[in-house]
Amino acid sequence: VSEPHEVEELPLPPDFFWGAATAAYQIEGGASQDGKGKSIWDTFSHLEPSRTNGENGDVACDHYNRMSEDVDLMASYGVDVYRLSIAWSRVIPLGGRNDPVNEDGISFYNRLIDCLLARNIEPIITLYHWDAPQELYNRYGAFLNTAEFKADFEQFARLCFSRFGDRVKKWVTYNEPYIISIFGHHSGVLAPGHSAATGHDTRTEPWRVGHTIVISHAAVVKIYATEFQPVQNGSITIVLNGHFYEPWDANSEEHKSAAQRRLEFYIGWFADPVFLGKDYPSQMRARLGPRLPEFSTEEMRLLRETAPINAYYGMNHYSTKFARALSDPPAEDDCTGNVEEVATNNEGKMLGPVSGMSWLRVAPDGFRKLLNWVWDRYHLPIVITENGCPCPGESQMTLEESVNDTFRIRYFGLYLDAISRAIYEDGIIVQGYCAWSFMDNFEWSAGYGARYGITHVEYDTLVRTPKKSAYYLKQSFNERRKKRD
Ligand code: GBH
């Protein structure tokens, strides 16, 4: 555990690509415009009492109506790629495989894709960034019914590949299955908000949801590989998030294995089946017992068959925490392998400076260690699909203060240096980087207070103003990529 260094502007490969990321519900608005159906986030953000700081994504950044202005702005930052997601309920309002397609929704994404390509920006498109059509929960519990959900997700994916795949070459099935499973169906902090308090079975729901995600991901990979890839020549993968975990006591085997176990419960849960075509990690089997679904012979065959098709490991990463083994018996709905996440270690030390979010500390060494952990276990090229932070106090700042975002610039600089070290000192293949986020947006349960953008958004007027970090990234990538060949 060491303090952050100074930014060194270390080199990156000349063909390293960079860009910025967003997600549909967080920026689009137009919640019921042009035939869009309701997603679980439309429902969740309108619950009383509010679970989203009294705010919702009805208007958000109004990107739905300001799309070409936004693409012009990102072009001015010099991005190579733009990572976005498709709102399922915009293209199939009810979501099901036999439900009507909304051509106005299709047309919005067609215009967006064309707009990007006209400015030489390559789209990376995520099919699912948390906004399931509400109707799929009403009908059969969505992710809680593997067979039904898989069939509906396959049809949605087919629609996207067939309508957009002539121009879109980089596909992602799911964003952050851990968050969908645990935050959606255990703590209930995110939609659909299932928790013990709402009477849901938190012993089993998260693992059933995770199982559906793994299987439907593999099924869609197979569909892409057999029906589309031969003609369209694109790639497909999944995006996983995860903190790095340092042991709470660096000299104790118990806490060292707790840190390893925490990584397996967070990342191995999805990455072992998806990228290795293997069962869930053995620690999960041992500790969760019958709570964890089994893979059928047929499902295992699908996983083994599709594992090598995934093009790279899509990594969303923000920060590092300490992992502390608990000595009490685990809760009956334990989901961590009986490991507690803490901000302070046994010597009272904290990891790096805190950002505008209490859980997000600047810890670039942990990032480099996570890159090594993922590389050693999965042997796959890595793309950083999200990384960023809000500045301390940014939620209360004036426009002038927010755009002068030196804390964010330093965070980016240190995390990019960590990538350089991983590439040139550790021999890891990292191919690209997306900053989270292209613009300030609806930060889920935190509402509009948490500003992650490299572009400031004034929510009253919807005026966009570049922050200094946008120009820092432009210049830094240009210089870093010239330092080696
Ligand atoms: C990503 O999620 C999302 O993909 C993106 O939409 C979001 O806007 C962005 O990050 C910023 O948050 O219990 O200590 O982990 C990251 C996953 C889940 C990380 C909730 C923070 C809460 C604190 N996030 N988590 S903690």
Ligand 1 centroid to Cα of residue 122, in Å, is 25
SS3 content of the chain, % helix, strand, coil (to 5): 45, 15, 40
How big is the CA angle at 422 (ends 418 and 424), to the nearest 5 degrees?
Answer: 115
Terminal C-alpha separation, the chain: 32
**Blockwise average pLDDT, block size 10, the chain, 485 residues:** 81 98 99 98 98 98 98 98 99 98 98 99 99 98 98 99 98 99 98 98 98 99 98 98 98 98 98 98 98 98 98 98 96 98 96 97 98 98 99 97 98 98 98 99 97 98 98 98 89
C-alpha distances in angstroms, 358 versus 62, 264, 339?
A: 28, 24, 20
CA gap 456, 441 in Å, rounded: 9
Residue 359 in contact with ligand 1 by CB distance below 6 A = yes
Q: Atom 8 (ligand 1): residue with closest C-alpha?
A: 443
Residue 176 in contact with ligand 1 by CB distance below 6 A = yes
How big is the CA angle at 353 (ends 348 and 356), to the nearest 5 degrees?
Answer: 120
Q: Which H or E run includes 374?
A: helix 364-378
Query: Does the active-site annotation cover 347?
Result: no
Tell me the chain's radius of gyration from C-alpha atoms. Answer: 21
Q: Using an 8 Å Cβ cutoff, are 10 and 481 in contact? A: no
Residue 450 in contact with ligand 1 by CB distance below 6 A = no
pTM over 0.90: yes
By CB atoms closer than 10 A (0-12, 13-18, 19+), residue 201 is middle
Q: Which H or E run includes 124?
A: strand 122-128
Query: Does the active-site annotation cover 394?
Result: no
Q: Is the ipTM of this complex over 0.85?
A: yes
